[in-house]
Amino acid sequence: MGKKNGKIKFARAEKTEDYPAVVCTDIIGQTEAFTAPRGRLEMGGLLLGHVDEKGNNVAVCGFFPKQTEESSGYCEFNGMYNAIAAAACDYANDMVKGEQIPKLRIIGWIHTHPDIGIFLSGIDVDTFRMLRNQCQNRRFMAVVVDPLREEHGVFLTERKSRDFNDADGMFSLNQELEGRYHALLDRLRIIQKERGLDFLPCILPGHLRGKRNAMGDRDDIEIEMRKGFFQLKKQIGQVNSDSNKTIQGAKQSITSLQKQLEMIRKENRELKQKTNDLVREKDHAVHRLEKLEERLLSIEKGIPNLKEKLSELNKSMSITRTESERTIRTIQQEIKESQLRSKAEIIEGVRSAIRGARMKAKKYTDEQLECIREDLRFITNGKRDITTSKDALLIPRTIKIKVQENKLGNKD
């Protein structure tokens, strides 16, 4: 490992062969039985086995330790379990001696993918690579199990995250090799008893499960299955209770919906009645509109005649206006002429009266003359002041002068 341009560079592992793997099918079934009750929580463990005479990596048994982290997408256990497993294998190898007997060892890693299928995630690839690098000649396999879909896969390399085989390997163990595996399983059981089920929840005996049960060994798989059965039964009871509540709620909902449906039907009938009324009003309005359109067409047809009549009326009014103007001018002229004639006649009458008055003035006394002057001032509204002699009496006279003249004549 070194650094280049400030980045950590890992030394590339020496290229090695990806060895064939033989996995006991019983291990897959026991894994599914133990982990299925956990639902969608992932769980990881180790596989123990040996290398057979053909060079195959053979997985015979294994175990699931306590999980430090577990979720629907990740699981993790303490690395000390690798040391515990290696020590147990060494114990079994020492207990059953024989140079011709294959050595027991950690042969693989197993973990679950509940309901998400079989593949190696990015984290899985890194973990698989790390575990292979820790083993001599990188002899190590990875097994992924989906207990909910009942699927599994055996991976020989981390370089192909979706390339896997089925666990359909068949093998047999001779008496000495089987003795070593029994010694290994005994050692794991002692650790489980000493440290507790929480520390080592499950031991996978593989195809040796029947013999282990006959020997009186604890069956973690059966116990977990029973526990899962009772939990499932309890869950079924809860589901039934919830179902009854749901059914009761559904009935209430149906009753409420029926009431709502009846209200909707009533509203629908009312809307239908209103719709019919609106249709009738619409038909009436359409009928009225048709009549109005007919009247409008009739009016439009009469418009040309009205325009013609209006044009004739305008012409007639123009002629009448012209004639009226002529008549008015004629009347005005006649009025002016009549006024002029009246004025001439009045002037002539006044002149005649003056002349008569002049002739008679010579006969008037001063008092009579002063009376005439007063009359003249009255007649002229004070515009003339008669102060002259008899001979200067030239002011126009009115009817009142004539009256005065008549009075004077009577005295004479």
Tens-digit pLDDT profile for residues 51-75: 999 999 999 999 999 999 999 989 9
238 pLDDT band, cuts 50/70/90, is low
Does residue 394 have a pLDDT over 50? no
Please determine, for residue 129, whether its predicted confidence score (pLDDT) is greater than 90: yes
Q: Which pLDDT tens digit goes with each residue over 160-186?
A: 999 999 987 778 899 999 999 999 999
Residue 307 makes CB contacts below 8 A (sequence gap 6+) with none
Tokens representing 149?
């879909």
**Structural domain boundaries of the chain?**
16-218, 362-412
pLDDT at 140: 95
Does 3.40.140.10 match the CATH number of domain 16-218? yes
CB of 48 closer than 8 Å to CB of 62: yes
Distance between CA atoms of residues 61 and 55, nearest Å? 18
SS3 47: strand
Confidence at residue 311, expressed as pLDDT on a 0 to 100 scale: 86
Q: Are 360 and 408 in contact (CB under 8 A)?
A: yes
The Cα–Cα gap between 76 and 42 comes to 9
Which residues make Cβ contacts (< 8 Å) with residue 84, sequence separation at least 6? 191
Closest CA to 145 of 118, 109, 177: 118
What gap in Å lies between CA 188 and CA 63, rounded to an integer?
9
pLDDT band at 154 (very low <50, low <70, confident <90, very high): very high
Q: What is the pLDDT of residues 337-388, one digit of tens each?
A: 888 887 788 788 777 877 776 676 656 666 777 777 777 776 666 555 544 4
Question: What would the mean pLDDT of 248-264 be, rounded to a whole number?
Answer: 87
Per DSSP bridges, beta strands 7-9 and 2-4 are antiparallel
Q: How many CB atoms lie within 10 A of CB 123?
A: 12
Per-residue confidence at 49, pLDDT binned at 50, 70, 90? very high
Cβ distance 164 to 154 under 8 Å?
Answer: yes
**How does pLDDT run across 11-36, given as a tens digit for each residue?**
444 556 789 999 988 999 999 999 99
Is residue 115 predicted with pLDDT exceeding 70? Answer: yes
Q: Region 240-254: what's the mean pLDDT?
A: 80
Contacts of 362 by beta carbon, 8 Å cutoff, 6+ apart: 390
